[in-house]
Amino acid sequence: MNVFVRTSAREDVLRQYSYYLIEKDAPRAAERFLEAVQTAVEALCRTPRAGSPRVLEDPALAGLRSWPVSGFPALRIYYTHGGDELRILRILHGKRDIKASLEEEAGEEE
């Protein structure tokens, strides 16, 4: 499966990694987070329909699903898939305005 990770999703990962590494002074948690994201994406490649469907009004987000990052229960991967493509749109904490964050991504190119 071809995996496309939006720039904003990469920034989400870097932001969360930096939070654990710098703000929490928890390098082991930062590394566990990166590993957990990679493991989650690999799982989605095997079974992309496993994530929970999310319905938003924006037609550009049709087919949106979410998947938890294991060991980090407040963090979820938001993605779409079609054919042989998995598109990671965002990796967000549950306290964020998920709807607004995702809708600003709608229609943007990688």
Q: What residues does 86 pair with on adjacent strands?
A: 3, 81
pLDDT band (50, 70, 90) for residue 15: very high
Short-list 48, 61, 52, 67, CA closest to 102: 61
Query: Looking only at Cα atoms, what is the longest distance across the chain?
Result: 41
CATH code at position 29: 3.30.2310.20
Q: How many domains does the chain have?
A: 1
Look at residue 110 and tell me if it is in a domain.
no
pTM > 0.85: yes or no: yes
- Which pLDDT tens digit goes with each residue over 20-71? 999 999 999 999 999 999 999 999 999 999 999 988 888 888 899 999 999 9
Whole-number pLDDT of residue 61: 87
Containing structural domain, residue 93: 2-103
Q: Per the domain annotation, does 96 fall within a domain?
A: yes
DSSP 3-state assignment of 41? Answer: helix
